[in-house]
Each structure stands twice: as C-alpha cells, then as structure tokens.
Amino acid sequence: MTDDSRQDAAGRLALGEGLTVGRLGFGAMRLPGPGSWGPPQDRGAALAVLRRAAERGVEHIDTSDFYGPRVANELIREALHPYPERLVIATKVGVRRDGPRAWNAAATPDALAAQVEGNLERLGLDRLDLVYLRAANDGMFPPDADATFEESFTALAGQRERGLIRNLGLSGVTVEQLEQARALAPVTAVQNRFHLLDRDSADVLRYCEEHGIAFVPYFPLAAGALRADLDPALIPPGWGLGPGQAATLDAIAARHGATRAQVALAWLLAHAPHILLIPGTGSLAHLEENLAAGSLALGDDEVAELDKLTG
C-alpha cells in the first residue's frame, strides 16, 4: 500500500476537520429490511452487528435517515448511544423514499433542512460529523426538478454555518459538480459508486486524490455481484464476472485463503491510499469477514491482475 501523508501513525485517514478514522468502516444500508425498507428481519442481529463493529474498533459508520426510512439511524442510536469517543457517523441527504423500490430526489433547501433535523433527532446528536449531498448522476434516480445542484449545496453549506454539520461531502457526483461545490464550501469526502467491476468514477477518484479529499466507494462489493451463488438475473448489467475474470479472482483468493469479497476489499485499499471502505451487512459472520480484509496484503502483481479485470 502506498504511504500517504494524510494518514496518522496508526494508519487512520483524515475525514474532515479534526477527524481521523480507520480505513475499514461500516455501512448501515443493509440493516433495515430488504431493499433498505422497513424493519430488519432480525432486529437483535442488526443491533449485535453494530455493537460488534464498535467492539472491533470500527470508527466510521455510514448511514442515512432514508435507510428504512429512519430504521438504520434508530438502530444505530439504540445500539451505540452514548457513542464511543472516536466514532464518526456520516450520513446522507437529498433523497426521499416513497416505497420499497422508490428512491427519489428531495434536494430543495426546505427538504434538506428537514432531513438534517431528522438525522440529528434519530441519531441523538447536536451536530452531524459529515453530511453528503446525494446527487443524481449515477442512474439511481432523476435529479430534483425544483432545485439546482448549486442551490442544494449552498443550502447544505448554510446548515454547516449554523453549526448543525461539521463537514460536507458529496455523493453521486461528477468532477464538474465537485469543482462547483468546492467553490462554495470545503468538501471533505466523496461517495461514488466504484468497485472491482465498475470504474466509471475513476476520474472523480483521481481528482479526490489530487486535492486531499477522502473517497468512499459505495457498493464496494458490487452489491453482491461477486458471489458465485448469486442469481444472474439479479446482477446489474456489466457487473457480472466472465469465466476468465472469475478464475483470476478465485486464484488470488485461493493463494491467500481468502474469499472473493475479501480480495475485492483488499484491492480497493491497495488501489488508492485515500480510499475509505464502508462494506455493509446484517450478518456477524460477514462483518468479521469484511474486517479481516484489512489484513490481506495483495502483491503488486496481484493488484495489477485485478486492475485489468474490467478491461
């Protein structure tokens, strides 16, 4: 792994004003029910995963009040409040959930203000460590017709000036939007889709590295598409492993006595020193598996092999 001046002596990475976190965090999107909608199928298991993550030293939890909605934040508060001193909780705004499969933009100034207040209330906080404005440039939902990107980010920056937000981030953005936002207020982190099988945000990743911005890829495990037993009908277009790709991934995993998921996470950590990971799960076994990926040291030749998986 390349050394980076933004890391402290313990290998933590800066995540905004006065905040450093370990590079392996936890994403809360999978804690609610299927599709991140409704209560978890096993509430006790969801709470146990959060508590085990904290016990294992996880310092970075990524969430949102639209996970559930409200469910993920309520679980985090129940499991972990009062929060460990070093824990950083990042959340997202800019989306409204109208049903189990509905993700819609809600990025007017009034909508964002209400979402910030909702996150504060559900998490039991007076100030949010990091808030991402969720934009609409990755095909997940159409943009908000009632607010421009500039209006939305300016409104969120106003919440920071009020003292309700410590650091600002962006999610689902282009380089152009990132530059536009940075002209208005500091941007601490970017959360775009990026994983072993999808490198469409490589330009944003490079920009973040050049400007000292943490990059937090969502779907770091390709939304489960790396699993050998996944129904092909559930794999998004372009994310499936061809026979040669699967053979490469399995061969590297076998050499390390690791799983495909662990190799995919280790590749991301080796790919760029400013990447922070937030793999999510509702399973204690998968949590332990994901955290163990932090100790998997890939060789330079293996990283190069994996770099070529998407052609």
Instruction: Give the pLDDT confidence of 85-105 residue by residue, as tens digits.
Output: 999 999 999 999 999 989 999
Contact 27, 280 (CB under 8 A): yes
Q: What is the CATH number of the domain that holds 31?
A: 3.20.20.100
Residue 1 has pLDDT above 50, yes or no: no
Q: What is the pLDDT of residue 137?
A: 83
User: Is residue 303 very low, low, confident or very high in pLDDT (cuts 50, 70, 90)?
Assistant: very high
H or E element, residue 165 = strand 165-171
52-56, 201-205, 307-311: least confidently modelled range: 307-311
252-260: long-range pairs with CB below 8 Å, 24+: 252/298, 252/302, 252/305, 252/306, 255/302, 256/296, 256/298, 258/293, 258/296, 259/289, 260/226, 260/227, 260/228
Q: Which residue has the higher pLDDT, 9 or 129?
A: 129
Residue 245 has pLDDT above 70, yes or no: yes
Determine, yes or no, domain membership for 303. no
Query: Per residue in 27-53, pLDDT tens?
Result: 999 999 999 999 999 999 999 999 999
Determine, yes or no, domain membership for 103. yes
Determine, yes or no, domain membership for 27. yes
User: Is residue 6 very low, low, confident or very high in pLDDT (cuts 50, 70, 90)?
Assistant: low
| Domain that residue 86 falls in | 22-191
Mean per-residue pLDDT of the chain: 92
User: How many domains in the chain?
Assistant: 1
Torsions phi, psi of 174, nearest 5?
Answer: -95, 170
Query: Per residue in 139-193, pLDDT tens?
Result: 888 999 999 999 999 999 999 999 999 999 999 999 999 999 999 999 999 999 9
Determine, yes or no, domain membership for 274. no
Peptide bond into 82 cis (omega under 30): yes
Determine, yes or no, domain membership for 60. yes
Residue 218 is among the residues annotated as catalytic for this protein = no
Share of the chain above pLDDT 90, in %: 82
| Strand order, beta sheet including 88-93 | 26-27, 60-62, 88-93, 128-134, 165-171, 189-191, 214-215
Q: Cα–Cα distance between 200 and 7 in angstroms, integer?
A: 26
Determine, yes or no, domain membership for 292. no
Q: Cα–Cα distance between 293 and 167 in angstroms, integer?
A: 28
Determine, yes or no, domain membership for 162. yes
User: Is residue 217 very low, low, confident or very high in pLDDT (cuts 50, 70, 90)?
Assistant: very high
Q: Cα–Cα distance between 215 and 189 in angstroms, integer?
A: 6
169-172: long-range pairs with CB below 8 Å, 24+: 169/90, 169/130, 169/131, 169/132, 169/133, 169/216, 170/132, 170/133, 170/135, 171/92, 171/94, 171/132, 171/133, 171/134, 171/135, 171/218, 172/134, 172/135, 172/136, 172/137, 172/138, 172/140
Q: Cα–Cα distance between 102 and 122 in angstroms, integer?
A: 22
Q: What's the average model confidence in pLDDT over 285-292?
A: 96
User: Is residue 10 very low, low, confident or very high in pLDDT (cuts 50, 70, 90)?
Assistant: low
Q: What is the pLDDT of residue 237?
A: 67
Residue 311 has pLDDT above 60, yes or no: no
Determine, yes or no, domain membership for 198. no
DSSP track, 227-288: -TTS-GGGSPTT-SPPHHHHHHHHHHHHHHT--HHHHHHHHHHHH-TTB-B--B-S-HHHHH
Residue 308 has pLDDT above 60, yes or no: yes
Q: Cα–Cα distance between 47 and 74 in angstroms, integer?
A: 10
H or E element, residue 124 = none
Catalytic residue among 67, 83, 132, 218: 67
